[in-house]
């Protein structure tokens, strides 16, 4: 595995992340393009669309109960114990794979979700009702208009005293939903086969918590999108190792169902292990980019990282007017293909990462357009099409050729592929 050497704060034996030093080892798979994003903390940049959505969600929850604790400054470097084990992920769960997760070293990862902080914040007890935690999260993933290796999540947790569940849960004040609100929920409050209650929970307690959770999140969506009279939302069953029962909420956006969040009743073991055996509660995790793209009509996830005032200035008056993003340009795109024979263990995400490092935000999309297996040798060849487009200038064919050559060289060097043609 390669080491991170590309920022001034990294050497081949250690990496600095927000002032802390971590030794690197054979598990390290950080890339320069990802390390550069860590100090940006878009959720704390005034008038940035990610920060605007964060504040609107915080306002809503603090109105339902003023005791939520706000957390938004934790480092993204967390232990594998925090990111996976404390959340009851199996030892061989696929999201632990280095093709999906950035490893700082074998024991430390860049958090893949805000849930990584559940045990530590719950053990801290600074708030006895719950918290709202916003952070940048990191995943090795595909490249297109709605996927980026760094994005932002908000995690919400609400816990109740098990003995006072009824009174504590009814003390929260939810704004009524508008008449005619279009909400579809075929999932109910649990399903013994596909979405079970926990053995640790009485049915009526789990149902009360689930009802409170769904009511809180339906109210949230109407708080955020209430001016859209055609808004439609639906609930579907989901699975997470750290909640049961679990759900996802989707909204209808541009003719398709788009997943906004995952949620559920917190696994009692997590509350027990963090010193809260007398509590019961719910958790949700939502994607802030997803909401901002729907709410402001932002068409491309790369735009959130733009420092161009033609992007940022459009959000300055957000408290006084409703904002619809006006695209300021769509410069021409240029695509280039690269084909190669894959070695054993090659993962498409390894290729995507090379493109991120060599092309940065000039890569708009990378698509696998052809796979061929040679019947005689058993070797597999893949062809990827990289679509290049700048958000602020026209790229010349020569500019793109230079980047494409670097991509070819680097995918051969790092991934050990054999280039064709």
* Binding positions for Mg ion, rule: CB under 5 A: 262
Q: Which of positions 98-117 make contact with ligand FA5 (CB under 6 A)?
A: 113, 115
254 φψ region: left (φ > 0), alpha (ψ -120 to 50), beta (else): left
Measured CA to CA in angstroms, residue 407 lies from 73, 249, 338, 368 at distances of 35, 38, 9, 15
Q: What are the phi and psi torsion angles at 245 (to 5°)? A: -65, 165
In the bound state with ligand FA5, the residue whose beta carbon lies nearer, of 213 and 362, is 213
In the bound state with ligand FA5, the residue whose beta carbon lies nearer, of 87 and 354, is 87
Return the residue nearest ligand FA5 (CB atom).
Answer: 287
* DSSP E strand boundaries for 1-138: 14-17, 20-23, 69-71, 77-79, 103-105, 108-110, 130-138
First to last CA, the chain: 27
User: ω before 143 within 30° of 0 (cis)?
Assistant: no
Residues 394 and 275: their CA atoms lie apart, in Å, by 57
In the bound state with ligand FA5, the residue whose beta carbon lies nearer, of 165 and 292, is 292
Sign, CA torsion 214/219/222/223: negative
CB of 400 to Mg ion, least distance (A): 34
The correct pick among 262, 350, 351, 388 for binding ligand FA5 (CB under 6 A) is 262
352 lines the binding site for ligand FA5 (CB under 6 A): no
The correct pick among 153, 169, 195, 276 for binding ligand FA5 (CB under 6 A) is 153
Residues 409 and 386: their CA atoms lie apart, in Å, by 15
**Which range binds ligand FA5 by CB under 6 A, 151-159, 191-199, 304-312, 380-388?**
151-159
Query: Counting Cβ atoms within 10 Å, is residue 194 exposed (0-12), middle (13-18) or buried (19+)?
Result: exposed
The correct pick among 74, 129, 220, 261 for binding ligand FA5 (CB under 6 A) is 261
**Among 14, 40, 86, residue whose Cα is nearest residue 270:** 86
DSSP 372: E
Contact 297, 325 (CB under 8 A): yes
In the bound state with Mg ion, the residue whose beta carbon lies nearer, of 149 and 262, is 262
364 lines the binding site for ligand FA5 (CB under 6 A): no
Residues 21 and 105: their CA atoms lie apart, in Å, by 11
259 lines the binding site for ligand FA5 (CB under 6 A): yes
Residue 159 interacting partner from Mg ion, ligand FA5, none (CB closer than 5 to 8 Å by kind): none
302 lines the binding site for ligand FA5 (CB under 6 A): no
CB of 70 to ligand FA5, least distance (A): 17
Q: Which of positions 280-299 make contact with ligand FA5 (CB under 6 A)?
A: 283-287, 289-290
**Which range binds ligand FA5 by CB under 6 A, 27-35, 172-180, 257-265, 267-275?**
257-265
**Which range binds ligand FA5 by CB under 6 A, 150-158, 316-324, 334-342, 412-420?**
150-158
**Which range binds ligand FA5 by CB under 6 A, 5-13, 149-157, 163-171, 185-193?**
149-157
User: Rule CB under 6 A: which residues touch ligand FA5?
Assistant: 113, 115, 139, 141, 147, 151, 153, 155, 240, 243, 259-264, 283-287, 289-290
């Amino acid at each position: 595995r390669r080491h991170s050497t590309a920022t001034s704060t990294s050497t081949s034996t250690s990496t600095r992340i927000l002032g802390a030093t971590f030794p690197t080892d054979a598990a390290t798979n950080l890339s320069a393009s990802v390390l550069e994003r860590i100090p940006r903390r878009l959720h704390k940049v005034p008038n940035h669309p990610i920060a605007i959505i964060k504040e609107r969600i915080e306002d809503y929850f603090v109105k339902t109960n003023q005791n939520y604790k706000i957390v938004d400054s934790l480092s993204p470097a967390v232990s594998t114990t925090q990111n996976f084990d404390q959340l009851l992920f199996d030892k061989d769960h696929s999201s632990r794979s280095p093709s999906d997760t950035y490893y700082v070293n074998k024991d430390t990862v860049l958090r893949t979700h805000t849930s990584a902080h559940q045990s530590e914040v719950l053990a801290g007890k600074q708030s006895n009702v719950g918290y709202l935690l916003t952070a940048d999260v990191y995943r090795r993933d595909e490249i297109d208009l709605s996927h980026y290796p760094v994005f932002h999540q908000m995690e919400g947790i609400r816990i109740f005293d098990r003995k006072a569940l009824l009174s504590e849960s009814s003390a929260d004040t939810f704004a009524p939903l508008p008449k005619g609100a279009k909400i579809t929920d075929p999932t109910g409050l649990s399903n013994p086969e596909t979405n079970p209650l926990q053995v640790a929970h009485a049915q009526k307690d789990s149902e009360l918590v689930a009802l409170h959770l769904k009511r809180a999140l339906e109210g949230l969506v109407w708080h955020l999108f209430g001016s859209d009279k055609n808004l439609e939302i639906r609930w579907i069953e989901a699975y997470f190792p750290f909640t049961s029962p679990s759900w996802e909420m989707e909204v209808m956006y541009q003719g398709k169902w788009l997943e906004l969040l995952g949620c559920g009743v917190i696994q009692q073991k997590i509350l027990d292990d963090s010193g809260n055996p007398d509590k019961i509660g719910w958790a949700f995790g939502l994607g802030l980019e997803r909401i901002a793209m729907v709410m402001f009509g932002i068409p491309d996830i790369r735009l959130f990282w733009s420092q161009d005032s033609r992007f940022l200035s459009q959000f300055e008056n957000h408290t006084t007017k409703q904002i619809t993003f006006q695209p300021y340009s769509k410069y021409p795109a240029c695509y280039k293909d690269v084909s190669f024979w894959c070695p054993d263990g090659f993962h498409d995400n390894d290729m995507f990462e090379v493109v991120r490092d060599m092309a940065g935000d000039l890569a708009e999309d990378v698509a696998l357009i052809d796979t061929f297996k040679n019947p005689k040798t058993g070797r597999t060849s893949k062809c990827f099409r990289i679509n290049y487009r700048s958000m602020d200038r026209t790229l010349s064919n020569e500019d793109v050729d230079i980047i494409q050559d670097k991509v070819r060289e680097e995918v051969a060097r790092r991934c050990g592929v054999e280039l064709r043609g």
